[in-house]
Amino acid sequence: MTSFWKSNQRRLAPWLFLAPGAVLFAVYVIIPIFQSMWISLYDWDGLGTATWIGAANYVELLDDDSFYTSLKNNVIWLVLYMLALPLGLFIAIFLNQTVGGMRIYKSMFFFPFVISQVVVGLMFSWFYAPDFGLFYQIIEWATGQGIAVLADERFVTYGIIAAGLWPQIAYVMILYLTGLNNVAPDQVEAARLDGAKGLGMLWHVILPQLRPATFIAVVVTVIGALRSFDLVSIMTDGGPYGSSRVLSFFMYEQALSEYGYRMGYGAAIAVVLFAIMMIFISGFIWKMWRDERER
């Protein structure tokens, strides 16, 4: 035993250190993924006996209007959430100055990310609320006809995304602020001597140095867009008539909500959502792996 340990110590030690994390990761992440895939092949209400129905849940999904609504909304979320990057960068550059009291301004801009998504959702619900909401009143004053954003299927998803962007911009901003701290001053100096300024400076000198920050910002924004659940649940509960559903909310609705308890169907939605996330995740992993190798 001891001789085995002695001879293999260097090979075993990393695995032993990894073990606690690896076990937890397996129990709470890896195994449930496969369980979900397994459950998605059953018809099960969470209580009675589960019936094997093969791919029937997926077939049903393909014929379900709510699924396409959710999918479409997810795409809108993904695209519009990317606005957090330029806006976050803009605010970060704006705040990257040495003025008295700058820390206070920075923390105020960062504030929306600190408060809970539920609170953000509630605030925006009141902001949009018909009759007494500020936004409603402004629109009414400007056009004579108020718009109840959260009751109108044309605007509801955009209204929720706007609420989601508020904290997301703050998050991206903080990532860029730390990135800007690491921009090499000598390069900026050199570029300035060569006559670079304004947008040219930003595009050719600053942005390339911010690439690591941009990468992280893209990752957190994509993940944020795909798991947009809390805001939808708080602000509209998927309504009006299901037009603001996204996949994560649809999954919750089918599997766990008051009118749901279709575990198999919910699991099938989860698997589809996982597949979509996998596209991005593999992209990120591939990029990280390539960067590692280049070093």
Partner 1 sequence: MFDVKQGAIAILATLLMTGSAMAEQRVLKYNADYDPIPLAAMEALIADFEAANPDIDVQLTNFDHEGYKTAIRNFLTTDPPDLANWYAGNRMAPFVEAGQFLDVTDVWEANGLNDALASAAASMTIDGKKWGIPYTYYQWGIYFNKDAYKAAGVEVPPATGVDWATFVSNCEKFSAAGIDCLTTGTKALWPGAGIFDYMSLRTNGYEWHMDLANGKVAWTDESVRKVFAELAKIQPYVTANHAAIDWQDAAALLVQGKAANYVMGNFAVGVFKEGGMTNDNLGFMAFPEITPGIPRAEDAPTDTIHIPAGAKNVEDAKKFLAFVASADAQTKLNAAIGQLPTNKNSTVAADDPFISAGFEMLSSAYALAQFFDRDAPAEMAKAGMEGIQEFLVKPENLDAILERLEKTRAKVYQ
Least distance (Å) between residue 192 CB and partner 1: 53
Rounded least distance, CB 105 to partner 1, Å:
34
Binding-residue pattern over the window 39 to 58 for partner 1, x denoting contact by CB under 8 A: ------xxxx----------
* H or E element, residue 8: helix 2-25
Chosen residue from 39, 148, 225, 251 binding partner 1 by CB under 8 A: 148
Establish if 129 lies at the interface with partner 1 (CB under 8 A). Answer: yes
- Does residue number 275 form part of the binding site for partner 1 (CB under 8 A)? no
Nearest to 149 by CA among 167, 168, 113, 125: 125
User: Given candidates 1, 2, 6, 65, which one binds partner 1 under the rule CB under 8 A?
Assistant: 65
**Interacting residue with partner 1 among 202, 260, 277, 281 (CB under 8 A):** 260
Nearest alpha carbon to residue 252 among 261, 244, 243: 261
Stretch that binds partner 1, among 60-68, 77-85, 197-205, 268-276 (CB under 8 A): 60-68
| Binding status of residue 78 toward partner 1 by CB under 8 A | no
| Cα–Cα distance measured from residue 130 to residue 159, given in angstroms and rounded to the nearest whole number | 13
Nearest CB to partner 1, comparing residues 130 and 137: 130
Q: Which is nearer to partner 1, 214 or 257 (CB)?
A: 257
Cβ-contact 233, 150 below 8 angstroms: no
CA distances from 15 to 24, 30, 85, 271 (A): 14, 18, 38, 30
**Which stretch in 68-76, 112-120, 162-170, 237-245 sits in contact with partner 1 by CB under 8 A?**
237-245
Residues 6+ apart with CB under 8 A from 96: 177, 180
Q: Are strands 51-52 and 42-43 parallel, antiparallel or unpaired?
A: antiparallel
The phi, psi pair for 52, rounded to 5°, reads -70, 125
Q: Which residues bind partner 1 (CB under 8 A)?
A: 45-48, 60, 63, 65, 128-131, 148-151, 153, 236-237, 239-242, 253, 256, 258-262
